[in-house]
Structure 1
Amino acid sequence: MKDKIIHKSADMFLNLGFKSVTMDDIASEMGISKKTIYQHFTNKTKLVEATTLQVFEFISHGIDCICELEKNPIEEIYEIKQFVMLHLKNEKSSPQYQLQKYYPKICATIKKKQFEKMHGCVSQNLDRGVSQGLYRKNINVEFTARLYINGMMSLKDQDIFPLENFSMHVLMDNYLEYHLRGICTIKGLEKLTQLLTTNH
């Protein structure tokens, strides 16, 4: 039952926002009593914490599976973006924004985990791109990885990119192209152009 509650809550939180969804909403959606939820989670904060961790673990595992395929690094970046977009449903509301505002401690913990995960992933991608001649040999991997992650995180900042003016999908596409054009060799740019042509 605990897993079912986490699963349903994750779906509702990501679609409607962490603040908007109440324990009553979850109970009625699942056809159970609120008491049943409280048997597993003493309060909503505990439920939000369990849910965000579960979503993080799920997405991390998905990213690991994509990286294990060892596609060319440019394709890999786009595959990861597609996977994350599919599961984070960032279009309808901004769950990240509500999480930051109402659950800052949980948000800080998740951000730290996200940074560690992305740092490993992006650094590997950059190393592989350089060794395959797709990214420039002289890029500073540590600097580029941190800059990329920081930029990616700031896409979710509604003060900089208000949702009504920027769809998350377009933002991500523009950002990936911006990042890759800055680090690709001629060979890499050919791959990128090929990929963008196929995707559009």
Structure 2
Amino acid sequence: MKDQILQKATDMFLTLGFKSVTMDDIASEMGISKKTIYQHYSSKDALVKASTTNLFETISCGIDEIILSNKNPIEELFSIKEFVMKNLKDENTSPIYQLQKYYPKIHKSLTLKQFEKMGCCVIDNLQKGIDLGLFRNEINKELISRFYFAGMTSIKDAEIFNPEIFKSKVVQSTYLEYHLRAICTPKGINKLEQLLKTNS
């Protein structure tokens, strides 16, 4: 039952927002009493924390599998973007915004975990691209990995990128292209443009 509650809560949080969904909503959706939820999760904060942790671990495992599939580094970034968006329901910015605003400690903890995970992945991706002649060999990997993470974090800010004006999928795709065009060699640009045609 604990796992079922976690799955349902995560699904509802991502669809409707971490603040918008109440414990009553989850209980009603599952056809159980609120008391049953509290037997497994002492508070809504505890459920939000468990939900974000579970989601982070699911996405981390999926990213690891994509990396192990040994795609070229440009394809790898496209695959990771698609996988993450699918798991975050096309990354509706509202839930992320609500998490940051109403659960700042949980949001900060999650961001730090994301940075640890993503920092290593991006540096490895950059090195692979340099080795294959797809990325410029003079780029500063430590700095570029931080630029990339900072950008990925900021494009989720609903106040800057109002989802009613800027569709999340378009923002994500444009940002990835922006990142790659800055670091690719002519060989990498050719590969990127082939992928953009395929994904358009």
Residues 1-200 of structure 1 correspond to what in structure 2 (within 5 A)? 1-90=1-90, 92=92, 94-200=94-200
1:81-116 deviations in Å (ceiling 9; x for gaps): 000111102455611100011111111100100111
Alignment partners' CA distance in 1, 2:60 and 2:154:
20
Question: Could you tell me which amino acid in structure 2 is paired with residue 112 of structure 1?
Answer: L
Structure 1, unmatched stretches of 5+, are none
Alignment partners' CA distance in 1, 2:93 and 2:170:
16
Aligned pair count?
200
Q: CA deviation at 1:164?
A: 1.1
Moved segments of 4+, more than 3 Å: 90-93
1:120-163 deviations in Å (ceiling 9; x for gaps): 11111000000000000111100110001101100011221111
Alignment partners' CA distance in 2, 1:169 and 1:73:
21
Alignment partners' CA distance in 1, 2:176 and 2:103:
29
CA RMSD, Structure 1 to Structure 2 (Å): 0.9
- Asked if the contact 1:14/1:90 (under 8 Å) is kept, the reply is no
Alignment partners' CA distance in 2, 1:159 and 1:73:
32
Structure 2, unmatched stretches of 5+, are none
Alignment partners' CA distance in 1, 2:105 and 2:176:
29
Change (3 A) 1:95 1:75: same
Question: Could you tell me which amino acid in structure 1 is paired with residue 21 of structure 2?
Answer: V
Question: Could you tell me which amino acid in structure 2 is paired with residue 60 of structure 1?
Answer: S
TM normalised by structure 2 equals 0.98
Question: Could you tell me which amino acid in structure 1 is paired with residue 6 of structure 2?
Answer: I
Alignment partners' CA distance in 2, 1:185 and 1:100:
37
SS in 1 for 2:133: coil
